[in-house]
Amino acid sequence: SGRFVAAGYCCGEGDRVLRVWDIETATTRAFDLPRPPPVSGAAAIQSNPAGGITSLTFRGESTLYSTAWDGVRRWDLASGRQATVFAAPPGGVDALVLPDRDLVLTRSLAGDCAPIVVHDLAGRSSRELPAFGACVEQVDVDPAGKILLASDRDGILRIGRLSGGEPHLLVGHKGPAAALISPDRKWVASTGADNTLRLWPVPDLDKPPLHTLPQAELVAKLKSLTNFRAVRDAKSATGWKIETGPFPGWKNVPTWQP
């Protein structure tokens, strides 16, 4: 409803608390954050040394989820009580909470490649999504919580249904990339280590991804998308040249604006 605002200690100096402001009554509540146990060696390098909160998500006006060094916690704002929803593996996790669906998506921060994991809070189960990439950098979900977008270190964006199935591939970035889905679910915006900003139309998720088509169907689909052809050329240094074929005509004739 916009009545409450929450903020939590992350790192550096300051009180290790979670604060919740009630905008209507102009009151503030503060809850102490659990402190991380002392660590040393490689574990100290991998984990968040400050042990602070990295993200917060409301569920209604009485429940708040926090992601921190030790995993995801659920806070009862009326009583201040909190409980661990699930514990993070060594190195910690980055989490995206979908409170309306009781789902949490996590990716490892330990430095090793790992797929996205979906945790069902109601069913107390977890499942990996290896089809969305082996070394995921970032995830995003549409407002309805049904479409998942994942960016990988290989620069490929993968978008598909969270419920399962093979995702579509958006190929173009060189190196790690980050991406978001527009609220109307029509566009993907991405940027990456190659210093480019790209806009992609969201593919039709009811159709099979391009890379899963049989060869003959794939070639026919590619030919329908362009009139450029790679043809043999003995005079070329590569043995090939690009040739422009006949204009295929508009599928839908555009309306030109003056």
Nearest CA among 184, 176, 131, 173 for reference residue 153: 176
pLDDT in tens, 82-113: 998 888 777 777 788 887 788 888 887 776 77
φ/ψ bin of 71: left (φ > 0), alpha (ψ from -120 to 50), beta (otherwise):
left
CA angle 172, 177, 178 (to 5 degrees): 120
18 to each of 80, 86, 125, 255, how far by Cα in Å? 10, 19, 28, 55
Task: Determine the pLDDT at residue 46.
Answer: 46
- E strands, the chain, in order: 4-8, 17-22, 27-32, 55-59, 63-68, 71-76, 82-87, 93-98, 103-108, 116-120, 125-129, 136-141, 147-152, 157-161, 168-170, 177-181, 187-192, 197-201, 228-232, 240-244
What HEC string does 123-155 produce? Answer: CCEEEEEHHHCCCEEEEEECCCCCEEEEEECCC
Task: Determine the pLDDT at residue 51.
Answer: 66
Instruction: Determine how β-strand 177-181 pairs with β-strand 125-129.
Output: unpaired
Q: Is the pTM higher than 0.85?
A: no
User: What's phi and psi for 255, nearest 5 deg?
Assistant: -95, 115
List of the chain residues with pLDDT < 50: 42-49
Average pLDDT across the chain, whole number: 86
Task: Determine the pLDDT at residue 84.
Answer: 87
Task: Determine the pLDDT at residue 39.
Answer: 56
